[in-house]
Structure formats: structure tokens, C-alpha cells
Chain A
């Protein structure tokens, strides 16, 4: 990891991570370091292992070989590390996964109250602050089904932030959205990055990647094929596979 080595300590470190689903190998010896405050964008064709990568980082999937270390905690099966990781890593899903039977406010306050033991009044005021930040405080008492996709995804981001994570993971957060709603979600993510959040975003939004990413990662067939700063990655991709991928998604 040549560029900016030593600038900051890595908060996420993957060493030779391998992951199989039955006979299918989804991750092949993935090495990756992410520093505090770094904004990483992961791209690649579907089935390349991008989602699996970040799902392993938040322990929704278990890797079978190699090591994943999050802020000093190596991921294993113990409940203690699981709790440590879950409280430090926030995850935003492609399909939002809001709780449909709870209001927007309840969606956001549930985990701080139950997991962090925060007094409900404090949790509500935190939730309102976060809704201001994602610019939909007026929706607080509605149910997720009454919101547009873009609004739902912003609530999902606020819900993750309410746990005050050190790291945010985004799994194709705009792929399920109508085009006119993509920008409002990307804007929120961009602000988050500007405020210094450590982020890994799996996305096909290359405009966003150019503006926000410190580092681009290109994956194919379960491997990290290329890792470079965005200027370099978009101007002169080193590998043939990343060149072909960029050709396909930039000129269509």
C-alpha cells in the first residue's frame, strides 16, 4: 500500500481473506488497508465480490481464511468481538431495510436506546439532529412506507449514524433508487466523507467516486485487481480488466 503509507494507522486491515459460498469462491486472498478518515470506493462487475467484501467487514458473512482486523479487534466467533465490531461499523443496504412497523423516529432511536442504553429523550433529540443532517426532519413521525426511496435511504443512513460508528459501509446505496433521487443520497454521503468519516462505498456512481474517493478499488472474480487514487485510476487504469470495466460503465 505505497501511497500515503505511515500517514495514519489503518482502522481496517484485511490479510489474505478467502470466502467461499459452497464451491463458489467469492473472495480470493484479499489484502486491504483502510486508514482513519479514508474514503474508499469499491467498483467492479457484478459477482466480483464487492458486496461480500464489505459484508465480511461488518461480519454479516464469515470469512473462512485470513484475518480481518477492525480497530484492533480481530473478527472471530466470540460475542465480545462481534459486539465491538457492530458498535463501530455502520452499514447501509441497497434495499434500505428500514423497519416497516416503526416510525422514522423509532427506526433511528431503537438501537441507541436498546444497545447503548441511551435515555429515550436523549435518543429522540439525537435522532432529530441526524434527520436535520440528512434534511428530512419533517418526516420523523411517518412510517417508511410513506417515504420515497431517496428519503428512506437517508433515514437508513441516519439510523446507522445514531450508533456513532467509526466506520460506515455502503452496499450499492443508490442502486435501488429512481434516478432523480440518487443525488440527494450521494450528497448526504459526500458530506459525511467531508466530515472525516471512514467510509467504504460499493457503488457504480463514478461521478461520486471522482469527487469523494481518496482511493479506488477495482475488484473482479473475488480479487482486488487494482487500487489507486481516483485521478490515476480513471486516467490510466493499470490492468486490462479495469480498463474494460471503465469503458463499459463510462461510455454507455
Chain B
């Protein structure tokens, strides 16, 4: 094909050398998964809080929501990673290790998107639900916690799943500050083996497998919730 001599031996499961390389590449899996999980957890919580700020009556809170969303949505993820890792120590004297810096950077960028997803979900709940809760005397936080959010979360599950997939992929950017996750491992191996095409193809398959697992889990969760929705009418 195109005169290129493929050298799949670098990742061959049948040779000792290939097995060693595969083990090396897979050793990044733990960091990638942990990074994405921590970042998405932080970003979902932050995004929800930011969304709630924007839905209350306080003008300052609504303004804070808009500024946060517009500012962090506009920062490219790679720039954020570099800025948190190299910039924070200089500006506020906060020196984070590569993992913490990676989690923080991914979460900051992603939370702006999560906030908008939650806002859309919350605003899609019928006004009558709010009115019933209001006339019963439920406060804003109780109304959100018991009435609006349980219904909204079912509706935003597909876009939340999407964000998680996106997070798994963008976690590769944290390789630039040296976290030994999947992409970093691949880069390191390319330098020693000089077989970029084969190694990056293997990397793509690693992400594909991860993301298929996530998609499957999200589908399962959606089906479960759809079942309880049907039961609930």
C-alpha cells in the first residue's frame, strides 16, 4: 500500500518484543481512565453549581454564570493545560503535580459545557412543575433537588455521555505536560521504535475500545432510566 513497509512487529502479540511494547502502551490506560473520571466528576459537580447560579433570581449570580461560561468555553483545552501547569505556579504560587493540573485544566474547560447542558435540561422541565413546587412552599434548592433535577438528569444523560467520551479523548492533551497516559506512552515508544504509523494506529484502537465501553455503559443507564420513566408515565 503506497510503497510503505508496515512494521507491525512493534505491536505484535506473538513476539516477545511486541508483547513488551503492548504492555508499555497499555500501562497508560490507568492514568487516562483516572484522569477522565476525576475530571468529569469535578466538572459535572461544578457545571451543575454554575448552572444553578444562572437560574436563580440574583443578578450577580446570573452574571457570574454568564462570565464563567463564556470565559472558560473560549479557552482551548491545550492552552488551559499549559496555563494551569506552568502559569498557576507563577501567578498564584500554586504548584500542582501533572495529574492534578491535568484534572483541573480539563474540568475547568469542560464545566462550562456541562453548565450549559444542565441549564438546557433544567429549562426543559415544564413550568407547571415549578409552579406546583412553589405553591407547596418548597424553597429553590428543595425544588431543584427533589422535583426539577431528578427529571432533568434523565433528559441530559445522552449529552452528558457525549461529554464523557469527549473528555476521554481530550485527556490525551495532558501528555504534553508529561503525564504517562496513553498518548504519552505512544509518543515515548515512537521515539525509541521509530514506527509512528503502527504505534498511533494501536493508540487509536485503544481509545476506540475505551469509548465503546463508555457508550455501552451510557446506553445501559439510559435504558434503565427510560424504563423507570415509562413506569412513572
Interface assignment of B135: CB less than 8 Å from any CB of chain A: yes
Interface assignment of A83: CB less than 8 Å from any CB of chain B: yes
How many angstroms between the C-alpha atoms of A114 and B137 in the bound complex? 9
**Chain A residues whose CB sits within 8 angstroms of the CB of B2 once the complex forms:** none
Interface assignment of B74: CB less than 8 Å from any CB of chain A: no
Question: Is B137 a contact of A111 with CB atoms below 8 Å?
Answer: yes
Question: Is B233 a contact of A97 with CB atoms below 8 Å?
Answer: no
Interface assignment of B123: CB less than 8 Å from any CB of chain A: no
Question: Is B135 a contact of A115 with CB atoms below 8 Å?
Answer: no
Question: Is B132 a contact of A93 with CB atoms below 8 Å?
Answer: yes
Proximity string of chain B (117-153) to chain A, C-beta cutoff 8 Å, 1 when within and 0 when not: 0000000001011011011111100100011001100
Interface assignment of B224: CB less than 8 Å from any CB of chain A: no
Question: Is B135 a contact of A114 with CB atoms below 8 Å?
Answer: no
Partner of B231, one of A115, A143, A159: A143
Question: Is B131 a contact of A87 with CB atoms below 8 Å?
Answer: no
Proximity string of chain A (155-192) to chain B, C-beta cutoff 8 Å, 1 when within and 0 when not: 01001100100000000000000000000000000000
How many angstroms between the C-alpha atoms of A114 and B136 in the bound complex? 10
Give the number of residues in B that approach A within 8 Å (Cβ atoms).
21
**Chain B residues whose CB sits within 8 angstroms of the CB of A95 once the complex forms:** 128
Question: Is B150 a contact of A86 with CB atoms below 8 Å?
Answer: no
How many angstroms between the C-alpha atoms of A97 and B151 in the bound complex? 13
Question: Is B135 a contact of A101 with CB atoms below 8 Å?
Answer: no
**Chain B residues whose CB sits within 8 angstroms of the CB of A86 once the complex forms:** 134-137
How many angstroms between the C-alpha atoms of A145 and B232 in the bound complex? 6
Question: Is B134 a contact of A114 with CB atoms below 8 Å?
Answer: no
Question: Is A93 a contact of B131 with CB atoms below 8 Å?
Answer: yes
A-B contact count (CB 8 A): 69
Interface assignment of A91: CB less than 8 Å from any CB of chain B: yes
Q: Quick one: which of A79-135 are within 8 Å of B by CB?
A: 83, 86-87, 89-91, 93, 95, 97-102, 110-111, 114-115
**Chain A residues whose CB sits within 8 angstroms of the CB of B135 once the complex forms:** 58, 60, 86, 89-91, 160
Partner of B147, one of A99, A143, A145: A99
Question: Is B233 a contact of A145 with CB atoms below 8 Å?
Answer: yes
Question: Is B136 a contact of A100 with CB atoms below 8 Å?
Answer: no
Question: Is A143 a contact of B136 with CB atoms below 8 Å?
Answer: no
Proximity string of chain B (135-175) to chain A, C-beta cutoff 8 Å, 1 when within and 0 when not: 11111001000110011000000000000000000000000
Partner of B138, one of A90, A111, A146, A160: A111
**Chain A residues whose CB sits within 8 angstroms of the CB of B147 once the complex forms:** 99
Question: Is B151 a contact of A111 with CB atoms below 8 Å?
Answer: no
How many angstroms between the C-alpha atoms of A100 and B176 in the bound complex? 48
Which of A101, A111, A115: most chain B CB closer than 10 A?
Answer: A101
New A-B pairs, 18, CB < 8 Å, besides A101-B151, A111-B136: A86-B137, A93-B128, A97-B132, A99-B132, A100-B151, A100-B233, A101-B150, A101-B228, A101-B229, A101-B232, A110-B136, A110-B146, A114-B142, A144-B233, A156-B132, A159-B132, A160-B136, A163-B136
Contacts from B to A (Cβ < 8 Å): 126, 128-129, 131-132, 134-139, 142, 146-147, 150-151, 228-229, 231-233
